[in-house]
Amino acid sequence: MSITRSFWKIGLKIGLIGGVVSVLLSLIGMVEAFGQRDIINEVISMGHTLLLMVGIFMAYLAAKRTSSLGKTWVLFNALVTGILIGGCLILLLLLGNLVNLRAIFINASPVLYSILTFGQNIKTGSLLLILAGALIGLFAGLIYLMPNLMRRVIVIPLSSVMIAGVIQDLLRPTLAAWGSIAVVSEWIFTANGLSLQGAIALAIVIALILLFWSFKGKAIQTGMKNLPPRQQRRLRSIGFFILIIIFLALPQVLGIFLSEVLTIVGLYVLLGLGLNIVVGYAGLLDLGYVAFFAIGSYTTAILTSPELGFFHFSFWSALPVAILMGILAGVILGIPVLKMRGDYLAIATLGFGEIIRILVLSDFLRPWLGGAQGVGKIPKAFIGSFEFGRPQEIYYLILAGCLLVIFISLRLRDSRMGRAWMAMREDEDVAQAMGINLVATKLLAFATGAGFSALSGAIFASKLSSVYPHSFNVMISINIICVIIVGGMGSIPGVIVGSVALVGLPELLREFAEYRLLVYGAALVAMMLLKPEGLWPAEIRGRELHEGESKTTEEVLPTEGGP
Amino acid sequence: MLKQWKRLKERITPTDIVMWVIGGAILALIIWGSTATIAAGRYSSHHWFDFVIFGLAQGSIYALIAMGYTLVYGVLRMINFAHSEIFMSGPYTAYFVAAAFYRSGFLDQHPLISLLVIFLVAMIISSGIAFLLERIAYRPLRTAPRLIPLITAIGASFFLQYVFRGLYGSGFQAYPVVKIFEGEWTFGEFRILRFQAVVILAAALLLAALYSFIQRTRVGKAIRAVSEDKEASYMMGIDVDRMISTTFVIGGMAAGAAGVLYALMFKQVHFFMGFIPGIKAFTAAVLGGIGNIPGAMLGGIFLGLIESVGPSLFLDGLGIVAPYQLKDAIAFSMLVLVLIFRPTGILGERLAVKKA
């Protein structure tokens, strides 16, 4: 008996947690802000979807926790969870009805209440909430009990519809530029969310693709594997070729806004690859990496800007100087921190980053560096008469930079120096005992990383045509660290994936600006708890982190605050 | 003689020389600047006294926050980056209590009782957040490599900032003024702004209480044992998980109290208010030798003083315009200077060399 009672408690506990999360999401205004927009026109808004996702996720979790006790308990616990989440929201409603919550929580507005009651009065609304909670709980429980294939065929199309709804503002204009496809997009999308028939069609198409893949996918994969090696190689090089064409054509297809996002992602890839050498390969936690970015930018600005008027270099002649300055700064800042380890290193480098920013910002150095107003009128880069002016063109400059840096990183990783860095990362003392010159190795890591960062800075300056001290605060350094760790430490594709996930996606969701960083933070925490090795880990590290763990192939549902 | 010289030469590497040159240059600059400033005599002794008092007040707040960093670092060997949000959450929530007291006039009638309540609310909220943070975000990561808890902490920091922004709004809220702390007390020819004196006194009391709690009580002893060696203390019958939770709660209480002091001093709260003091306090903890409790206090007060006195003392004499803008640069230069000569902080222990 006592065992069953404790299983009953699981639903209670998870339901209460889910309830608190939903109430919190409502009170911080996310539900209301997302409520403005529909996922499916006139059917479900984004705010409701958010709560729905919390409900499904929590009920699924409850079901999973009780799986060992048979189907009835699974369904029961999922149901309890769903009802409790609805109940917590009702409590919020009643409380809001009694006292004016708005004196403290500015987002507890009438609009929120009307979203929560589905526009009805409190009594009907509460009933509806409980009903919805129960349905959600049952749905999640049933999903859990389904066979694998069926679950995928239900869950993935539904999430695809949701994602299509979330990024509708992005998809619609992009598709609209494509002539005949525009008709399709007109049919799928309305002015606010997907149309009902569009959503259904999209879900069905994706479900069909999934079904096809699950029956035929294995055969195709084995067929590819059974090809003779030469043909396999040819297939791979064709794939590579297509990839390059896609990369080259991307900005022409995507339009100005997405190209701008791409350039920002590209800059972060450049920065990330540089820091990847310092942190990922050599294991030196550098929180002041933005300093070299600033040095690259400001060197370019001083050398090229007519506003300051010291020099009149072109971008291309300023670039090597900027990189050299970056490398020099890397060595100079590297020397004092040679003996420090771990957190002492982190805070000292953070200090350096801040010192550089404060110096640039100060009135004291204003005649030379422009002070708080920054430096403007930095010329764009030219090749012949081709100007790297618009985002679509700067993209190519950044792409070239990325390819160069990826090439250098790859070669360095497999070189003697790369192995020395990794040895140092694993254990400094042992590495030294093995005859590695720690001083030279560390300084080279700092210098290489700084050089990449300065390159990125120079491109950044020319991209914006101006530099401001405020572009170089600590948050940039921290973001880059997050990029390489979320991507996977020491992994080059990881840096790219990390930049897309942490820089690209939030840029796309800019309209939820207020909640961007909240979701970003929650995603970082969730990511570290669920998949600490990163999205695309370097092979060795992935293995290290999962030592002694059996591999789980189970898919994890999207976590709270999904959009 | 020659042999000794040779041995010495072998021991000193070129990097040592470079480091000494950098350190020496900074020191020389400081001495030169200070003598020039004092010779110029632009500031009277009253000015210096004000700088020192302000520095002490600011420094003791840093010291309180730094305690949280250093305690957590001691038991978990991690930088709790979200500590600055723990610091923010308490006074921001207590603001609503304070505002209610102010509106009803209770604050002016019974200022001490109201302040006590405000402090309590802030400390409870901050320690609650710290407790939840450890439970949800950090506990599953005990055995993970060092960088992973750091990223989690950064994520939690963003999350908390924007949760509080969502809850309470993004504007600055003006903390109500406590009337009895307005004005100044005079001692002979020196005068102290009352609220600064209150901040220093309160912080000193809290620090002393905290220190004796860690040193004297059984729980404090257990926390110290856990930070020495988790496994051994586990075998000695100490509930390690509970001690780690307790550490977070204590650190959170200190941060909440520091937050109210900060709000009393600067008279406003904001969802982003934790970031700068957080980084400063972390710097202070490292400066004193992270993991070392007296070190955190010393580091905090040192940093506060340097920030307040430094710009005028070191830079004014060098003819630098607007030296006050460079106060953070001075603070961080000091940090680097200290770390050059003592790579594990002022009171740093061997532990930092061994483990970090």
Residues A95 and A168 in one domain: no
Asked whether A160 and A202 are in contact (CB, 8 A), the reply is: yes
Can you tell me which residue has the tokens 């499916």? A40
Count the Cβ atoms, other than its own, within 10 Å of residue A366. Answer: 15
Q: Which residues pair with A48 in a beta bridge?
A: none
Query: pLDDT tens for residues B63-102?
Result: 999 988 888 888 888 888 889 999 999 899 988 888 888 8
Same domain assignment for residues A303 and A424? yes
Q: Is the dihedral of CA A260, A264, A270, A273 positive or negative?
A: negative
Cβ(A558)–Cβ(A53) below 8 Å: yes
Q: Please report the residues numbered 241 through 270 in chain A whose beta carbons come closer than 8 angstroms to any beta carbon of chain B.
A: none
- B133 and A CB contact within 8 Å: no
Out of A347, A363, A514, the one facing B322 most closely (by C-beta) is A363
- What chain A residue is nearest to B164 in terms of C-alpha separation? A28
Whether A67 maps to a domain, the answer reads yes
How far apart (Å, rounded) are the C-alpha atoms in residues A87 and A133? Answer: 8
3-class SS at A383?
strand
Q: Provide the β-strand partners of residue A189.
A: A194
On the 0-12 / 13-18 / 19+ scale of CB atoms within 10 A, B271 is buried
Q: Amino acid identity of A228? A: P
Is B167 in Cβ contact with A27 (below 8 Å)? Answer: yes
Domain end, chosen from A424, A444, A479, is at: A479
Interface of A with B in 104-143 (CB under 8 A): 104-107
Instruction: Please give the pLDDT value at position A465.
Output: 83
Question: Chain A residues with CB inside 8 Å of B323's CB?
Answer: 364
pLDDT at B105: 80
Contacts of B18 in chain A (CB under 8 A): 335
Contact B167 A474 (CB under 8 A): no
Distance between CA atoms of B305 and B300, rounded to whole angstroms? 9
Domain final position from A451, A479, A507:
A479
Instruction: Check residue A488 and give left, alpha or beta (phi > 0: left; psi -120 to 50: alpha).
Output: left
User: Which residues span the domain enclosing A138?
Assistant: 1-145
Does the residue A137 lie in any domain? yes
Q: What is the pLDDT of residue B126?
A: 92
Based on the fold, state whether residues A205 and A75 are members of the same structural domain.
Answer: no
CB contact under 8 A, B356 and A341: yes
CB of B25 less than 8 A from some CB of A: no
Residues A460 and A395 in one domain: yes
Please name which of B95, B132, B108, B99 lies closest in space to residue B259, comparing C-alpha atoms.
Answer: B95
The reply to whether A66 falls in a domain is: yes
- CB distance A343–B166 less than 8 Å? no
CB contact under 8 Å between B356 and A354, yes or no, is no
Q: Is B19 on the interface with A (CB under 8 A)?
A: yes
Residues in chain B closer than 8 A to A107 (CB atoms): 166-167
B339: nearest CB among A104, A105, A340: A340
Alpha helices per DSSP H over A189-279 = 196-226, 229-275
* Domain contains A324: yes
Tokens of B299: 């580091």
Report CB contact under 8 Å: B155, A522: yes
The answer to pTM > 0.90 is no
Q: To which H or E segment does residue A39 belong?
A: strand A38-40
How far are the Cα atoms of A18, A252, A304, A387, B174 from residue A384, in angstroms, in the given order? Answer: 61, 21, 18, 8, 58
Residues A78 and A217 grouped into a single domain? no
List pLDDT tens digits, range B260-296.
999 888 888 888 888 888 888 888 888 888 888 888 8
Report the SS3 class of residue B174. strand
A463 and A357 together in one domain? yes
- Whether A158 and A125 share a structural domain: no
CA atoms within 13 A on the CB side of A94: 11
Helices (H) and strands (E) in chain A, counts: 24, 4
Please judge whether A361 and B325 are an interchain contact, meaning their C-beta atoms are less than 8 angstroms apart. Answer: yes
Q: Which of A145, A173, A205 is the last residue of a domain?
A: A145
Q: Does A33 reach chain B within 8 Å, measured CB to CB?
A: no
Chain A: residue whose CA lies nearest to B330 = A355
Instruction: Name the pairing type of β-strands A44-45 and A38-40.
Output: antiparallel
A406, A274: one domain:
yes
A81 and A170 both lie in a single domain: no
**Span between the terminal Cα atoms of chain A, in Å:** 42
Residue A255: the pLDDT is: 72
Give the Cα separation of A285 and A428 in Å (integer).
14
3-state secondary structure of A306: coil
Contacts of A54 (CB under 8 A, 6+ apart): A18, A21, A22, A25, A85, A560
Contacts of A339 (CB under 8 A, 6+ apart): B343
Residues of B in contact with A104 (CB under 8 A): 96, 167-168
Which of A446, A491, A528, A545 to substitute to test the interface with B, most B CBs within 10 Å? A528
pLDDT, one tens digit for every residue, chain A (563 residues)? 445 556 777 888 888 888 888 888 888 888 877 777 777 777 788 888 888 888 888 888 888 887 777 778 788 888 888 888 888 888 888 888 888 877 778 777 788 888 887 777 888 888 888 888 888 888 888 888 888 788 888 888 888 888 888 777 777 777 776 667 777 777 777 777 778 888 888 888 888 888 888 777 777 777 777 777 778 788 888 888 888 888 777 777 777 777 888 888 889 999 999 998 888 888 888 888 899 999 999 988 888 887 777 777 788 888 899 999 999 999 888 888 877 777 778 888 888 888 888 888 887 777 777 777 778 777 777 777 777 777 778 888 888 888 899 889 889 888 888 889 888 888 888 888 888 888 888 899 999 999 999 999 998 988 888 888 888 888 888 888 888 888 888 888 888 888 888 888 877 776 666 777 788 888 888 888 887 777 777 766 656 666 544 444 333 333 333 33
Q: Which residue of A has its CA nearest to B95?
A: A104
Tell me how close the Cα of B244 comes to any Cα of chain A, in angstroms. Answer: 19
CA B303 to CA B54: how far, in whole Å?
12
Please give the structure tokens belonging to residue A411. 């070669």
Contact with chain A for residue B286, Cβ under 8 A: yes
Q: What count of other Cβ atoms lies within 10 Å of the Cβ of residue B27?
A: 13
Identity of the residue in B155, B282, B325 whose CB atom sits nearest the CB atom of A347: B282
**Chain B residues near residue A528 by CB distance under 8 angstroms:** 141, 144, 148-149, 151-152, 155
A481, A471 contact by CB (below 8 A): no
Question: Looking at the complex, does the CB of residue B319 fall below 8 Å from at least one CB of chain A?
Answer: no
Interface test with A, best of B162, B314, B341 (most A CBs within 10 A): B162
* Cβ <8 Å between A482 and B328: no
**Alpha-carbon distance A44 to B69, whole Å?**
45
Q: Which two tokens stand for residue B152?
A: 């989690």
Question: Within chain B, how many helices (H) and strands (E) appear?
Answer: 15, 4
Report d(CA B322, CA B334) in Å as an integer.
Answer: 19
> Is A202 inside a domain boundary?
yes
Q: How far apart are CA A364 and CA B320, in angstroms?
A: 6
Residues of B in contact with A545 (CB under 8 A): 144-145
Say which of B96, B149, B326 has its CB closest to residue A364. Answer: B326
CB A246: neighbour CB atoms within 10 A?
Answer: 10
> Given an 8 Å threshold on Cβ–Cβ distance, is B151 in contact with A340?
no
Instruction: Please give the tally of structural domains in chain A.
Output: 3
DSSP per position, A523-550: HHHHHHHH-TT-SS--HHHHHHHTTTPP
Give dist(CA A282, CA A268) in Å, integer: 20
Does residue A538 sit within a domain?
no
Would A294 be classed as within a structural domain?
Answer: yes
Mutate which: A290, A328, A337, A340, vs B, most B CBs within 10 A: A340
- Asked whether the beta carbons of residue B158 and residue A518 sit closer than 8 angstroms, the reply is yes
A444 CA to chain B: closest CA distance, Å?
14
- Round to the nearest angstrom and report the end-to-end CA distance of chain B: 39
Same domain, A197 and A89: no
**Are A180 and A112 found together in one domain?**
no
Query: Which residue in chain A has the smallest CA separation from B166?
Result: A28
A260 shares its domain with A382: yes
Residues of A (318-357) whose Cβ lies below 8 Å from B: 335-344, 346-348, 350-352, 354-355
Tell me, yes or no, whether A316 lies in a domain: yes
Q: Which residues of chain B have pLDDT under 70?
A: 1-2, 9-10, 349-356
Quick one: which of A86, A116, A82 has its CA closest to A101? A116
